[in-house]
Chains A and B, each alone.
Chain A
């Protein structure tokens, strides 16, 4: 398994296509950071305008933690599209290049071959998230400094003390990794059915867009299936940035308001990952290699 994994990682990072995602993420984050650095206070005034009548904000609202939160809100919707470029190419790309038949004449079990490929794509996803974490959190803190994190939720405002934030980002990124693994698994699954990369990449992106629309629209028909869509659960990293209140209405430091929802989302996402990976391996083992 380790051998296949290391070879697959080597191949992924030897392909120029792999770096498109890293370049795109870097460009997006740096542009947003630049925009906020130049004119960020006006942006914060705008998004907090509804609250200024009720609250008296003091201190530095636009800090590295808030910038990171803004970036994650924007990016974690689009990162799956970049992951699809690699994940949906895993098997179909080999078939397209003609290398699949040569690979499968080597003495490896098909299950090992497939698991090695999926783990390599998972490693790529992890590195992409670590890169996002570095740029969005470390660089933002360096540029904008630290402070309490003030987030406006639908009906209320959350203020998290600056010494209570970093661990939340740690868990949020771990959660995001699980969410992105579901996308990786979807792309991996679809890549088994095609002998060119375009189809599975477009199909993966289409499914994500389609499910995301269904997850966010308040139409009753969609609401019935929303709890079962992985896209509904992918955004629940935000739950780490909400705190519990005690009976007297005071914030419980270090708490998460709806941990049950987080756990539920992780279970749903994990089921998707297992089903997609199992489905991909099972189908692949039955498949005749005609490419």
Chain B
């Protein structure tokens, strides 16, 4: 059984009459990429801020590395690095100066070469002495990553790290999270509303709504690859549907709408289906596998009563 890095036990947070987090419990294991999901206002950021001691829980207990966060705050923060939404740094300082400042606050006495290496790793090697006010959002995000990682934390907490990033920046962020988990053996807790991104990297997933847990479990179990929905659009939709009904694919058809055909199948079968459609002269406009996490998310957030742990 992997080590339990973060334990959240029945944590609630009220802001006057508003219940932001409601009796939430979950566990993050060593080397997890823990996808923390929920709609806007679900309580993700409040929970993450409680993990980082920015917000005090109204009730419940948080343990980091088996020690109570409330009484071991400094010890716990030494082992944590974070980006909370957009990484705001000092705009009147350069990237190098910002990184040096936060490294010192993290308890380090960083050498110039260490700082330069850290900036190089996030692709800011030629802009290290430029003031941050001249940086794009993506560059600020990369600087935020360097700040979060400079003290080699064991836990990395990323709250909506892809906010404001372009598609390339989002892909880079995904690669970086995978690299941190696989190569550097870090534990990553990441919240995002970009389900497709989480789906590709998360090892475990928690979905919350209105501060309550809806579902938690292994990504491989929750995201059943045998149940991928494929949405096909064709030039002659009726003709394509008729062909499918008279084929080995018939049993996989699910009710669609007048604009598309839908099939539920294992991901492995998608290339075969594509090949069959081409061989049978179906003029395909598009063939889109709907993300199973999206399905899961919509399913549990519309049901809302299914508090489940797998």
* A positions within 8 Å CB-CB of B: 3-4, 7, 10-11, 14-16, 97-99, 101-109, 286, 288-290
B90 near A4 (CB under 8 angstroms)? no
> Looking at the complex, which one of A10, A101, A107 makes contact with B107 (CB distance below 8 Å)?
A107
How far does the alpha carbon of A10 sit from the alpha carbon of B89 in the complex, in Å? 15
- Chain B residues with CB under 8 Å of A109's CB are 73-74
Q: Output the nearest chain A residue to B86 by Cβ-Cβ distance.
A: A98
Q: Output the nearest chain B residue to A103 by Cβ-Cβ distance.
A: B105
- Please tell me if B82 contacts chain A, counting CB pairs below 8 Å: yes
> Looking at the complex, which one of B54, B80, B90, B107 makes contact with A288 (CB distance below 8 Å)?
B54
Indicate whether A107 sits within 8 Å of B56 (C-beta atoms), given known contacts A14-B93, A101-B84, A102-B147.
Answer: no
How far does the alpha carbon of A7 sit from the alpha carbon of B55 in the complex, in Å? 24
* B positions within 8 Å CB-CB of A: 15, 49, 52-56, 73-75, 77-78, 80-82, 84, 86-93, 97, 101-102, 104-107, 144, 147
A102 near B89 (CB under 8 angstroms)? yes
Return A120 CB to nearest CB of chain B, in Å: 13
Q: Output the nearest chain A residue to B56 by Cβ-Cβ distance.
A: A288
Indicate whether A14 sits within 8 Å of B92 (C-beta atoms), given known contacts A7-B101, A102-B87, A105-B54.
Answer: yes
B105 near A99 (CB under 8 angstroms)? no
B84 near A105 (CB under 8 angstroms)? yes
- Chain B residues with CB under 8 Å of A14's CB are 90, 92-93, 97
- Chain B residues with CB under 8 Å of A97's CB are 88, 90-91
A105 near B52 (CB under 8 angstroms)? yes
How far does the alpha carbon of A167 sit from the alpha carbon of B102 in the complex, in Å? 43
Interface centre among A4, A14, A103, A106 (most CB of B within 10 A): A106
B74 near A289 (CB under 8 angstroms)? no
A105 near B77 (CB under 8 angstroms)? yes
B106 near A101 (CB under 8 angstroms)? no
A288 near B92 (CB under 8 angstroms)? no
- Chain A residues with CB under 8 Å of B107's CB are 107
Indicate whether A289 sits within 8 Å of B54 (C-beta atoms), given known contacts A107-B74, A108-B74.
Answer: yes
A3 near B106 (CB under 8 angstroms)? no
B104 near A99 (CB under 8 angstroms)? no
- Chain A residues with CB under 8 Å of B55's CB are 288-290
Besides the contacts A97-B88, A98-B86, A104-B53, what 14 more A-B pairs have beta carbons closer than 8 Å? A3-B104, A11-B101, A15-B92, A101-B88, A102-B102, A102-B144, A105-B80, A106-B105, A107-B74, A107-B75, A109-B74, A288-B15, A289-B55, A290-B55
How far does the alpha carbon of A15 sit from the alpha carbon of B77 in the complex, in Å? 28
- Chain B residues with CB under 8 Å of A16's CB are 92
How far does the alpha carbon of A106 sit from the alpha carbon of B98 in the complex, in Å? 13
B88 near A10 (CB under 8 angstroms)? no
A–B Cβ pairs within 8 angstroms, 11 of them = A10-B101, A14-B92, A16-B92, A99-B90, A101-B84, A102-B82, A103-B105, A104-B54, A107-B74, A107-B78, A109-B73
Return B257 CB to nearest CB of chain A, in Å: 43
How far does the alpha carbon of A15 sit from the alpha carbon of B97 in the complex, in Å? 13
- Chain A residues with CB under 8 Å of B80's CB are 105
Return A97 CB to nearest CB of chain B, in Å: 6
Return B167 CB to nearest CB of chain A, in Å: 25
How far does the alpha carbon of A103 sit from the alpha carbon of B105 in the complex, in Å? 8
- Chain A residues with CB under 8 Å of B73's CB are 109
- Chain A residues with CB under 8 Å of B87's CB are 102
- Chain B residues with CB under 8 Å of A286's CB are 56
Return A3 CB to nearest CB of chain B, in Å: 6
How far does the alpha carbon of A288 sit from the alpha carbon of B20 in the complex, in Å? 13
Q: Output the nearest chain B residue to A108 by Cβ-Cβ distance.
A: B105
Q: Output the nearest chain A residue to B15 by Cβ-Cβ distance.
A: A288
How far does the alpha carbon of A205 sit from the alpha carbon of B52 in the complex, in Å? 35
A289 near B49 (CB under 8 angstroms)? yes
B90 near A11 (CB under 8 angstroms)? yes
How far does the alpha carbon of A12 sit from the alpha carbon of B17 in the complex, in Å? 39
How far does the alpha carbon of A290 sit from the alpha carbon of B84 in the complex, in Å? 11
- Chain B residues with CB under 8 Å of A288's CB are 15, 49, 54-56
Query: Across chains A and B, which 6 residue pairs bring their CB atoms closest together, nearest first?
Result: A98-B88, A289-B54, A106-B105, A107-B77, A107-B78, A288-B55
Return A284 CB to nearest CB of chain B, in Å: 12
- Chain B residues with CB under 8 Å of A15's CB are 92
How far does the alpha carbon of A107 sit from the alpha carbon of B82 in the complex, in Å? 12
Interface centre among B52, B84, B97, B105 (most CB of A within 10 A): B105
B54 near A7 (CB under 8 angstroms)? no
How far does the alpha carbon of A290 sit from the alpha carbon of B92 in the complex, in Å? 23
- Chain A residues with CB under 8 Å of B56's CB are 286, 288
Return B95 CB to nearest CB of chain A, in Å: 14
- Chain A residues with CB under 8 Å of B82's CB are 102, 105
- Chain B residues with CB under 8 Å of A4's CB are 105
How far does the alpha carbon of A104 sit from the alpha carbon of B105 in the complex, in Å? 10
Q: Output the nearest chain A residue to B94 by Cβ-Cβ distance.
A: A14
Return A16 CB to nearest CB of chain B, in Å: 7
B88 near A99 (CB under 8 angstroms)? yes
A102 near B104 (CB under 8 angstroms)? no
A7 near B105 (CB under 8 angstroms)? yes
Return A140 CB to nearest CB of chain B, in Å: 34
How far does the alpha carbon of A290 sit from the alpha carbon of B56 in the complex, in Å? 11
Return B96 CB to nearest CB of chain A, in Å: 13
A7 near B104 (CB under 8 angstroms)? yes
Return B232 CB to nearest CB of chain A, in Å: 45
